[in-house]
Amino acid sequence: MMADDREITLADFQACSGIDDIGEAIMHLENSNWDLVSALNKVVHHDTQQLPSEVSPDVEMIEAFVDGVPVIKRSSSSTSTSTTNMADTTKNNSTTTTTTTTTTTTTDDVTIIKPGTSKVTDSTLLKFKIHFLDKTIKINISDQCTVGDLKAQVCEKLKVVSCQHQLDGWKKEPASSSTILKSLNLPRGINILFLKPSTPLVELEAGDSSSEVVPMSERLTRNYMLKITDKIQNKKYNLPFPGTQTVRDVKAGVHALNDVPVRKQEWKGWPNSVTDDSTLLAASGINYPEHSLTVSKLQDTDKSKLKDKDKKNINEIVDIADSDNSDIEDIEEFEDTPGSFLIEDDIFIDNISTPRVQRLIPDNNSDEVIGTIHFSKEFEIRYGPSHPNFFNGKFEDAIKESCLTSAKDRKLLGVYLHHDNSVLSNVFCTQLLGCETVLQLLAENFVVYGWDFTFDMNKQKFLNTVQSTLGIMAAETIRTIDIDTFPVLIIIMRLRSTTDIFTIVHGNVGVNDLLTNLIHAVDVFQDQRRVDINAEEERQARELVKQEQDKAYQESLDADRAKEEAKLLQIKIEKQLKEKAENERMLEEARKESIRTSVESSLPAEPDDTIDNIYKIKVRIPGGKLLERRFLPDTKLQVLINYLIVEGYPHDEYKILLSWPRKDLTTLDTNLSFSDLKFHPQETLILEER
């Protein structure tokens, strides 16, 4: 466990247990291997599970019935009267109320008890402390209630969706939400549980360990990639949808791809929280950034579903239509007819297929990717399988894939613009775009993008896209194309670092003219492409040489820098050694000076020359100089040693030698006097370094 996680766990443990001593809290957590729930269960008393931090004032608990459901209302003494009145009122409904006294820490908690027969059963009040993010609530509930009742009350208090969360931390995991709390053998004390999201509602930053819920405002700005498996067409779609769109928008988009009405679609993969098609994707609980879904067609044998949908449609029509009461009564009578009548109607309706003209792109198409997918599908349905391989995606991405790649991978971009109001559309699509030579030429040299100009909204959307990618001149050129010359094939080419329209082939040409324009465009493109490839190779060669030079220069620079750093390091080390030696020398001198000062203060004064029996001791020091001092006959040898220390010659560095017989006086007993040592009155000693 990371240090930050342990600090959080320690803080939570202290807050829940009331243990202020950090050492004691860490001891409990270490014994439980830093498992918060296990540690809390250990510090709770075995009989009551009462935490040290909890002090529970007495309140009155009255069981009453509200809307036919028995509840336990706990209030202070000031509210007991009103609660009793409520209990008295409920007696008129032939219900039984009981009054008991219990202990709790909350004055407004409501405990829901399952309604049952009039038989009185012994129930125990269970206490729960629920932790959710940075919130903590307390719930008291009868052990006759279920896990689902507890979860519903918790989610109601915390204002969260019940189906998106789950309770964790049970000592004995319940089998389901219908499990009776009494069967879990929970203690009468406080039970600590954690409410956790059951769907991925949070997102972690790289390297971040926080777990805050992502705000709705941020989820609304996201784009969700829906990976939809279409079992009807045996295809897979990758469709991006913003978080502001609804589930209904997704189903409508799939309807545009497989022609299966929304009411006939059967979906798998939506979270349990999605109960209405008006649910926003941002609030649906789907995975981000990708979510997998499966769509299939509702089987005709499932008549009950179809019947319910038909009834719902009838009700919706009645609400919208401006009808009188008699019409509504007629419809209600219609709804009361036997189910076999509706089933038979469904059978007849399913067998009727009304032919309708599908535009290549529906009106008011809001998503460019879905529009191009719908264009490709409808084009093949209308004109057959012999057609160009249309690009599915945004126009900007088509430009990047064709014109903005490397010169070796570059292609021409062919933009096919369709219009259903042109009489030339059918001939151009079947004979010109269906020609094998044209298809081969387009497949080898072009990325083909298709769009439908039949509806003005779709036309304006494409013109806005062209203006943002190719410029206002290109958009104006396309805008001025006469509708009578539609459809058109616009050839876009990259020449001399500029992407622009090369030529426009109108729909009133033949196959030969189309091939001539395509071949001419390919020839010009190939010539320019060869020039660009050579320029690109030369540029890459120059960049390679430059990179090698930069690398060599950098290596040389790094070597010089390393030498300079080594030199500076050596100088720094030498300086540090000198400073260290100087400091040691100064410390040693200070030590010697301290010793010398101490010895000098205890050194007796030199006797006067007029006194008889005076010893004149001469000491020859290194360098040939002599030190001379007078001493009394009873002077100890230590006084001579101290004298030499004061003069700067400590005995641990110098030996005091007697010339005859030759011996080191520092090895003798320093308490011996000069007379004991049989010194000559004018003795000469030799001072020698050790």
* Domain definitions of the chain by residue range: 1-38, 125-197, 219-297, 368-522, 615-689
pLDDT at 161: 65
Residues of the chain with pLDDT under 70: 1-4, 44-123, 133-134, 161-164, 188, 196-217, 300-357
Write the CATH number of the domain with boundaries 1-38: 1.10.8.10
**CATH number 3.10.20.90 given to 125-197:** yes
- Which architecture characterizes domain 219-297 according to CATH? Roll (3.10)
For residues 360 and 451, give the distance between their C-alpha atoms in angstroms, rounded to a whole number. Answer: 8
| pLDDT score of 1 | 58
125-197 and 615-689 in the same fold: yes
Q: What is the pLDDT of residues 247-266, one digit of tens each?
A: 888 888 888 788 888 888 99
pLDDT at 308: 52
Task: Read off the pTM.
Answer: 0.36
Count the alpha carbons within 13 Å of 24 in the hemisphere toward its beta carbon.
9
Q: Can you give the pLDDT at residue 346?
A: 43
Domain 615-689 has CATH 3.90.1300.10: no
State in Å, rounded, how far the first CA of the chain is from the last one: 63
Give the model's pLDDT for residue 439.
93
Query: What's domain 368-522's architecture?
Result: 3-Layer(aba) Sandwich (3.40)
CA–CA dist 264, 297 (Å, integer): 6
| Nearest of 102, 14, 3, 115 to residue 66 by alpha carbon | 115
Give the chain's largest Cα–Cα span.
157
**What is residue 3's predicted lDDT score, i.e. its pLDDT?**
62
With beta carbons less than 8 A apart as the criterion, state whether 273 and 161 touch: yes
What's the pLDDT at 546? 92
Residues 383-427: tens digit of each pLDDT:
888 899 999 999 999 999 998 888 888 899 999 999 988 888 888
- How far is the CA of 41 from the CAs of 38, 50, 104, 207, 356, in angstroms? 5, 10, 19, 32, 69
